[in-house]
């Protein structure tokens, strides 16, 4: 590889918002990005199951250091739930564990749906990537071991019934990161007394990015082949555009890039994006109320 081309790739940093198709793992998509860009530093910010499609945010280059902040963003989904059947995986990939007649009205379904809005405790599915004593829950479950997962607090901001065609229902789910829609479907079936499982899932939003921002993976592959993929690369700073921005003076820029604190004022926001006058993300800064200074927590040197 030409050294100048390699150096140019080393400076590439940003976000690819991809519409993941059904059938691929999130890791598969990251591998496609690595091969297509020739950039090894790439990672996604929130796993989508192989059966699920939709918004997958992939960070490329130095932007991967934003992962822990972008991963914590809220998510939105359209989910298809089938009533009357439960499975061991809480989705259509699993083995059927029970079946029951569906004697549920649309009003009863909507009432049950509303009971899951707010801060709730949710137990992850047995077949999930949650670690139990150092091992993935799905590995233990596949080996026939009893998986005892502890409930977690999550936020469900909104649940809306979009289509009612029993035994199936299509719902819109707006929730915090870490929510398992499979568990939500299973719990909904338990509450209704007939059981349920997830048969379809499409992520429509992750953080500030929606399907409108997403490029279909097939189209991105074509762009990799013809060398035009960077048209889809979104600047790193936009990954956290819901954070307040602090424009740094040239003097502050130099201080922050060397990891030094800078004096400032606090207006109720403890974290900000430190931006250059060219709109580049320079650092993530946290305010120290004791010293009235901004402390660089992540610095992105150009």
Query: Hey, which residues are catalytic here?
Result: 49
Strand pairing partners for 202?
53, 78
Cβ atoms of residues 171 and 160 within 8 Å: yes
Helix ranges (DSSP H) in 63-216: 67-70, 106-114, 137-142, 181-192
Cβ atoms of residues 49 and 201 within 8 Å: yes
C-alpha 264/C-alpha 256 separation (Å) is: 13
The SS3 of residue 274 is strand
Residue 246 C-beta-side C-alpha neighbours within 13 Å: 28
CA 120 to chain centre: 19
């Amino acid at each position: 590889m030409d050294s100048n081309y390699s150096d140019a790739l080393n400076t590439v940093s940003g976000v690819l918002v991809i519409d993941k198709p059904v059938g691929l793992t999130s890791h598969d998509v990251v591998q496609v990005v690595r091969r297509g860009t020739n950039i090894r530093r790439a990672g996604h910010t929130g796993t989508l199951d192989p059966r699920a499609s939709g918004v997958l945010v992939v960070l490329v280059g130095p932007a991967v250091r934003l992962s822990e902040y972008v991963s914590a963003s809220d998510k939105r989904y359209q989910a298809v739930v089938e009533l009357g059947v439960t499975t061991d995986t809480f989705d259509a990939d699993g083995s059927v564990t029970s079946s029951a007649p569906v004697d549920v009205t649309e009003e009863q379904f909507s009432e049950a749906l509303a009971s899951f809005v707010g801060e709730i405790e949710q137990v992850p599915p047995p077949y999930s990537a949650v670690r139990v004593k150092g091992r993935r829950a799905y590995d233990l479950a596949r080996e026939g071991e009893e998986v005892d997962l502890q409930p977690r607090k999550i936020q469900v901001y909104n649940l809306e019934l979009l289509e009612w065609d029993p035994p199936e229902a299509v719902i819109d789910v707006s929730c915090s990161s870490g929510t398992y829609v499979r568990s939500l479907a299973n719990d909904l079936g338990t509450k209704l007394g007939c059981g349920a499982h997830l048969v379809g899932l499409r992520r429509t939003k992750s953080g500030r990015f929606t399907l409108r921002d997403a490029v279909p993976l097939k189209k991105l592959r074509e762009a990799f082949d013809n060398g035009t993929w960077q048209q889809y690369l979104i600047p790193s700073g936009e990954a956290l555009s819901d954070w307040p921005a602090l424009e740094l003076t040239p003097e502050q820029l130099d201080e922050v890039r060397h990891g030094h604190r800078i004096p400032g004022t606090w207006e109720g926001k403890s974290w900000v994006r430190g931006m250059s006058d060219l709109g580049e993300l320079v650092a993530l800064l946290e305010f120290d109320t004791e010293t009235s200074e901004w402390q660089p927590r992540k610095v992105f040197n150009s």
